[in-house]
Structure formats: structure tokens, C-alpha cells
Amino acid sequence: MDNQLRTITMGQLLDEAVAGHPDNDALIYVDRDFRMTYREFVSVVDRLAKGLMAMGVARGEKVAVWATNIPYWVALQFATARIGAVLLTVNTNYKSDELAYLLQQSECENLFLIDGYMDSDYLQIVYDLVPELRSQDRGRLDTPRFPHLKRVFFLGMEKHRGMYALPEVMAMGALVSDSDYRARQEQLDVHDVVNMQYTSGTTGFPKGVMLTHYNIVNNGFWIGENQKFTAADRVCLPVPLFHCFGCVLGVLAAVSHAATLVVLEKFDPVQVMAAVEQEKCTALYGVPTMFIAVLDHGLFDKFDFSSLRTGIMAGSPCPVHVMRQVIDRMYMHEITICYGLTEGSPVITQTMPGDDMRRRTETVGRPMPRIEVKITDPETGEEKGPGEQGEVCCRGYNVMRGYYNMAEATAKTIDADGWLHTGDLGVLDADGYLAITGRYKDMIIRGGENIYPREIEEFLYQLEGVVDVQVVGVPSKKYGEEVGAFVIKKSDSDLTGQDIRDFCRGRISRYKIPKHVAFVDGYPMTASGKIQKYKLQELSVDKFPGPDRIRP
């Protein structure tokens, strides 16, 4: 296997797949009998890209997409890349405050959205945030709250006041000549930013991670290589596209090998099983809770999983008994584990199909090709030896360009020698396998979703009656961790746990809302006055009893 890195753009990556396997299935949705070959898919991508060009979307402009895993999400991922725009992925769980922050901090110029998801009406949220849409001419948006926002698009066929509908964008593509389209693509550089994703930060506010073609094209290629992907593989993808798990580990790993993507709009265990059987999928992706939901489903034995061979489990540690069942009952003998973070494009280490059970469950594999990993003392920066715990750091092609408009935060994360500091604690063994042992950063992982306590704490400080609040992860059998809040309230306040949750509802994502709330008089402190959050986690076992509770 050649470990050389590729110097091509995402558009050129798609061109390679089309040239080599034009009639291979590119994109399939079992629930709506939707399928496109690579030849058909690139045609849609080009019409969409030309349409955006015709409407004035310039190289370097951000194009936010707030949508579930619908077919045009993937087309938009490549269409924006083709014209040098930056795809800005928006978490489908976001509420109004989170969307407003993202649009402002990113200086976003374009927004695509669907009608809504679960209990969120995206259209109403956007009209509330940008009331000018109802009165101003399309394409001439002037809104003081979001001064950079120029255009809003509805990612569907219906027309909505102030927004362009998808058919209009596609039709506008006829106004751009092939020569102008090629000229735009020839201007692009592999080191241009092509993707931005917002990750919560310990400073309390999300940061826009800037990723380049070079970052994610290469990472996607090696993720696929480590699963032995070929054009014959069919990848079942029930994870969100707005995360790197979906748009890099899924989409780019598949396209770089001209494999087929069998996408689900949202996770549903029965739909996953039906998709695997009907399309004879060879790979399946998911976080451990997704695999558990499939294995434990009453209809599991009714479906045929014998076509499966490989896939990825990531997002949180995999219990040994789950891994054994996935291999034995789902035929995924070559399943791999990935570890990384958005700032690392995202995968830093991956297990290999030939690794034994211990390494598949007790480690997260070895560094990907052309990525260095070291363990350092988080306080002194001194490098640790095999078997010694410290902060996991990596260096290579995969390190992000930086955080958008946050130079100080970038400098704290990427040091002068180019090492990305992950904030995770780990140990490297003598063979180079990495085991994640804890977190130096203060992060909660709930069912694969990363949650930074400081963001929730800063939000709850706005609630009248709250003097102080500390948020920690409460161990959970189902999700790995749930959000717990220890609140000090004013002496005359009659705040309840339900008041805390009600204040959050509709303003921050549901998964960030504290499931557990305790009112306390103070916090355990170190001699220097630092709050000992690990003691709050220990306290949570007694404070928040229940059948789902496990000891940390």
C-alpha cells in the first residue's frame, strides 16, 4: 500500500469516481426508492453548482446547510466544493439561539434549510431570526442582525417567502457556461477551506473548525482503505451527515473508492436492517448505541445480515459484549474502530480488520498513515513513553486550518510545532496502539454527541435565580453519559429542576438539556480554589439514582 498523500480537490475526487465507474450506484435511499448512478449524481451536482454560481455565490463564501440526510445534502456537499464555496454544516438539533450564534460568528452568506426536524420548525425559526425575509426582495437581503447573510434557500420543491426553491437554483445553472464553470474550478487549491463544522468549546462557545480539501480528501481515502473498500462495496450510513462521521468517514471514504452510499435520513433500527438486507450492504456505520438498538430489536432475527463484512463503530467506547455480537451475529468480522475529533479531519487512529478482539475493544487502533501521534504531559508538554498516560497529540496532513476568526483559541489547540492537542488522555503501547483513558478537557459524550459543560453553564447563568452552576457527565448505561447540573441558587429563589429544563427547551439542543438537576450549597474545591468536577461526578451516583445508573 502506497502511503503517499493525494493532492486533489473534492471535485476532482468525484470526477475520478465518475470516470472509473460511471454506472455504479452512487446514492441510494431505500425508504423512497431513490437511486442515482455516479453519472447521474455528477449531473445533479454540476447543475446545482452552476446554479449557485449564477446566483452570485463566490469562492470562499460560506453555504450553511440545516437539513437531515436528504439526497440533496450530499449533492450540495460536492456542488459547493466544485465552486470553491465552504460547506457549513449545521446540527439538526440546533434551536434558535444556537443557529443565531453560528450565523453571526461564521459571517455566513448563504443558508439552505428544510422545513424542520422533530419538534423544531426550521422555517419559523429562520423567519423569527430574519423577519426581513418576508418583506425584502430575494438576493437583496439586508438584515442588521446578520449583516453578511445574502441568500436563503429552501432545500426542496416548495416556495417560501424570501427564499429560493431548489428547482429555481437548478434552473439558473443554464446561465453559466461550461467554460466559466471550468475556470472557477481551475482557480481552486487543495489547501482551500472547503468545510466548516462547529464544535463546542471549553470557553463556552462553539468554534468553527476549518477543514481543507487536502485534510478531508486524504482522511476519507485512508478510512476507506483501512476497511478494504472497492467499487463493489455498499455502505449503509445512518449517522448524521452534519458530523464528520457522516460527511467524511461516510461520504468521502465511499466516493474515493467509487463505492455505493445507502443513506438513511435518520437512524431507525428497522430501516437500517431493511436497508442492509435489501441492498446487500457490505459495511455499516454507527455509534455503539445504534448497534445495540439493532441487536436488541425484536425483529433482528427476521433480517439477513450475511452481506456485511466491515464498517465503523465510533463516537464512544465499545463494550466488549457488543463488539462480539456485532462480529458473530451481524457477520461484521472486519469491523473497525475509529478515534479522532473534528479538528483532526477527523480520524487520527483506526483499528485494522486483522486486529484481535482485545485491540478492537480496549484500544482505538494505531495512527493513520502520514499522521504522527504522541502522548505528552498536559502541564509540562514533556513526551511520555509507552504505557504512560498523558494528553493525546497528533501532527500531519489532517490538522485543521484553524478555528474561524478565533486566532487565540487556534494557538491554544495547535502548538508552534504543529501538534494538535486533543484534550483526551491516553496511553500508547509498545506496538503503537492507542487506548483512550479519560479527558483532560471537560467534555461529556452522550450517545456520540460531544457536549462541553461550559457552553451549558454559560447559558444557564442567564436564568434569574442562578448564582452558579456546574455541569458534569452522569454515567448512563444507555447513552454512556447524560448531562447533570449542580446549581447554587439565590437564597430567595424557588427554582426547580423543571424550571431549569423549561428555560433550556426550544433554545438549546435537546441532548444538551440537563436530564439531572441538583441544588447544592457549594462545590468540592482544591486548596487553590479549583472546583473538583470529578467529585461532582462521584456525587452524581447518589444524587441521581435510577435503573440506568452505573458508577464512574
Tell me how far apart the alpha carbons of residues 12 and 184 are, in angstroms, rounded to a whole number: 13
Statement: residue 203 has pLDDT above 50? no
Domain positions in the chain are: 10-327, 451-543
DSSP 8-class letter at 176: S
Cβ contacts of 140 within 8 Å, gap of 6 or more: none
What pLDDT does residue 529 have?
Answer: 53
Tell me how far apart the alpha carbons of residues 215 and 209 are, in angstroms, rounded to a whole number: 12
- Phi and psi (nearest 5°) for 304? -100, 115
Strands annotated E in 324-365:
334-340, 347-350
What pLDDT does residue 230 have?
Answer: 98
Give per-residue pLDDT as tens, 106-129. Answer: 999 999 999 999 999 999 999 999
Yes or no: say if 64 and 102 are a contact pair by the CB < 8 Å rule. Answer: yes
In this prediction the pTM is 0.85
- Range in 148-157, 210-219, 531-540 with the lowest mean pLDDT: 531-540
Statement: residue 202 has pLDDT above 80? no
What pLDDT does residue 451 have?
Answer: 86
373 membership: H or E segment, kind and range: strand 371-376
Greatest pairwise CA separation for the chain in angstroms: 71
**pLDDT greater at residue 273 or residue 547:** 273
Number of other residues whose CB lies within 10 A of the CB of residue 252 = 25
DSSP state letters, 509-545: -GGGS-SEEEE-S---B-TTS-B-HHHHHHHHHHHS-
**pLDDT greater at residue 524 or residue 283:** 283
Domain 10-327 classified CATH 3.40.50.12780? yes
Cβ contacts of 439 within 8 Å, gap of 6 or more: 423, 424, 425
Instruction: Count the alpha carbons within 13 Å of 48 in the hemisphere toward its beta carbon.
Output: 26
Yes or no: say if 404 and 210 are a contact pair by the CB < 8 Å rule. Answer: yes
Across all residues in the chain, what is the average pLDDT? 92
What share of the chain in percent tops pLDDT 70? Answer: 96
Q: Given this chain, do its domains 10-327 and 451-543 carry the same CATH topology?
A: no
172, three cell numbers:
439558473
Statement: residue 550 has pLDDT above 50? no
Strand order of the β-sheet with 260-263 is 34-37, 25-29, 260-263, 234-237, 283-286, 310-313, 334-340, 347-350, 366-367
Give per-residue pLDDT as tens, 308-341. Answer: 999 999 877 777 888 999 999 999 999 999 999 9
Statement: residue 206 has pLDDT above 50? yes
What pLDDT does residue 98 have?
Answer: 93
Polymer length of the chain? 552
Q: Classify 385 as helix, strand or coil.
A: coil
Give per-residue pLDDT as tens, 36-92. Answer: 999 999 999 999 999 999 999 999 999 999 999 999 999 999 999 999 999 999 999
Tell me how far apart the alpha carbons of residues 406 and 444 are, in angstroms, rounded to a whole number: 23
pLDDT band at 18 (very low <50, low <70, confident <90, very high): very high
Statement: residue 526 has pLDDT above 70? no
Please classify residue 491 by burial: count the beta carbons closer than 10 Å to its beta carbon, then call 0-12 exposed, 13-18 middle and 19+ buried.
exposed
Statement: residue 349 has pLDDT above 60? yes
For helices 38-54 and 71-82, what crossing angle results, to 10°?
Answer: 60
Tell me how far apart the alpha carbons of residues 360 and 113 are, in angstroms, rounded to a whole number: 39
Statement: residue 547 has pLDDT above 60? no
The DSSP bridge pattern shows strands 25-29 and 260-263 to be parallel
Give per-residue pLDDT as tens, 453-511. Answer: 878 987 898 899 988 888 988 888 888 889 999 998 888 999 999 999 999 999 999 99
Q: Which residue has the cell 468540592?
A: 524
Tell me how far apart the alpha carbons of residues 37 and 419 are, in angstroms, rounded to a whole number: 40
Q: How far is CA 406 from CA 87, 105, 184, 196, 415, in A?
A: 19, 10, 29, 13, 14
Q: Which residues of 423-444 are buried (b: 16+ CB within 10 A; e: fewer)?
A: bbbbbbeeeebbbbeebbbbbb
Tell me how far apart the alpha carbons of residues 353 and 233 are, in angstroms, rounded to a whole number: 15
Amino acid at 425: L
Task: Name the CATH topology of 451-543.
Answer: GMP Synthetase; Chain A, domain 3 (3.30.300)
Long-range contacts at 455-458 (CB < 8 A, ≥ 24 apart): 455/200, 455/201, 455/204, 455/205, 455/206, 455/512, 456/483, 456/485, 456/508, 456/512, 456/514, 457/204, 458/204, 458/205
Tell me how far apart the alpha carbons of residues 26 and 36 are, in angstroms, rounded to a whole number: 6
pLDDT band at 289 (very low <50, low <70, confident <90, very high): confident
Q: Classify 56 as helix, strand or coil.
A: coil
Q: Classify 490 as helix, strand or coil.
A: coil
Mean pLDDT of 347-354: 96
